[in-house]
Amino acid sequence: MRIMALLRQVLDAQETVRVADNKVDLDGRKLVMDTMDEYGVEEALRLRENGADAEIVVVAVGPARTHEALRAALAMGADRAIHVETDAALDVIALSSVMAQIARAEQADLILCGGQQADWDSQALGAATAERLAWPQVTWTRALALNGATLTGRHDTDDGVASFTLSLPAVLTTQQGLNDPRYPTLPNIMKAKKKEIRKDTLEAYKVTPKVKLQGVAVQSKERLKRILDGKDAPAAAAQLVQSLRQEARVIQ
């Protein structure tokens, strides 16, 4: 079987956000494989280690630098990568068309992708890709097992956690708590340098953007930052309660 993991390269969560030229400025910033996508790569490796006879292909659409994220996934243990290189900013519905076309060409059986990517805060890529392939989907997976062609697991819903079962092919979205992604070892990093990253151009996929970005603004709220020393707990508590009652007026 073939497992496809979809990746995005995003701003490291610890980096502050800066805006230039009416978009978020990523030049010279620390960029990483999206952590939610990383759980997908790790889960693919674990399914294989638990007995699935699977080739693991990682796929990303993005500018030249995106190959770093793909290389990181190869160093974790993925077999090969496909990089659709473009500077165009695709919305999620347009991107899902590229991903579905690749999944068809690769005859993928299972697609894993992050539940919500940290750049566009979108949860839609997995579901939109599943719809294009006419496959079922499960979002926010927190436990997964594969037995033959049957997937079982648990996932988060609006009001709790549900156990599910479905048959391949399918799309699953991944999140923190599903597994602990491994760190690439030095030998695996060396090995990854020899693995294939196939380059593609976006033109071949004939997609039209459906959403246009008009502009961005950084959200920041100035905070008071009145921080007290708590060595004398009762005194600090009394002062805080007074501030919250009389100044902020947020408690009775």
Partner 1 sequence: MILLVVPHAEGKIAKAAYELAAAARNIGRAGPVTALVLGDGVAAVAADAARLADQVLVADLPELAEFDAELWSTAVAQIAQEGGAHTILIAASRDGRAYSPRVAVKLDAPLLEDVLSVQDRNGALVAERLSFLNRVTETIEAQGTVAVVSVKPGAFDAAPPAQEAAEQYDVGLQLPPRRVTITSKEKEDTGRIALSEADVVVAGGRGVGSPEGFTQLIVGLADQLGAAVGATRAVVDAGWRPYSEQVGQTGKTVQPKAYIAVGISGAVQHVSGMGKSGCIVAINKDRDAPIFHVADYGIVGDVQQIVPALIAELRK
Site for partner 1 in 179-208 (CB under 8 A): 208
Q: Please, which residues have CB within 8 angstroms of residue 156's CB and are 6 or more apart in sequence? A: 139, 140, 142, 175
Using CB under 8 A as the binding rule, whether residue 89 contacts partner 1 is answered as no
Site for partner 1 in 6-25 (CB under 8 A): 11, 13-14, 17, 19, 24
In the complex, minimum distance from the CB of residue 74 to partner 1, in angstroms, rounded to a whole number: 26
> Would you count residue 217 as binding partner 1 (CB under 8 A)?
yes
- From the list 43-51, 71-79, 124-132, 196-204, the region that binds partner 1 by CB under 8 A is 124-132
Stretch touching partner 1 by CB under 8 A, among 42-50, 64-72, 155-163, 198-206: 155-163
CA dist., res. 17 & res. 23, Å (int): 10
For the record, the structure tokens of 9 come out as 């390269």
Q: Write down the least CB distance from residue 63 to partner 1, Å.
A: 17
Query: Coil, strand, or helix at residue 70?
Result: helix
Determine which residue in the list 54, 61, 70, 93 makes contact with partner 1, applying CB under 8 A: 93
Instruction: Give CA separation, 159 vs 20, 50, 121, 123, 156, in Å.
Output: 40, 31, 21, 18, 8
Residues 30-59 close enough to bind partner 1 by CB under 8 A? none
Place of tokens 């707990």: 233
User: Bridge partners of 152?
Assistant: 145, 165
237 touching partner 1, by CB under 8 A: yes
Sole window of 45-53, 65-73, 149-157, 193-201 interacting with partner 1 (rule: CB under 8 A): 149-157
CB 68 within 8 A of CB 9: yes
Q: Which is nearer to partner 1, 63 or 136 (CB)?
A: 136
Burial of 64 (C-beta count, 10 Å sphere; 0-12/13-18/19+): exposed
- Pick from 27, 53, 87, 159: which binds partner 1 (CB under 8 A)? 159
Q: CB-hemisphere CA count at 13 Å for 36?
A: 25
Choose between 26 and 75: whose C-beta lies nearer to partner 1. 26
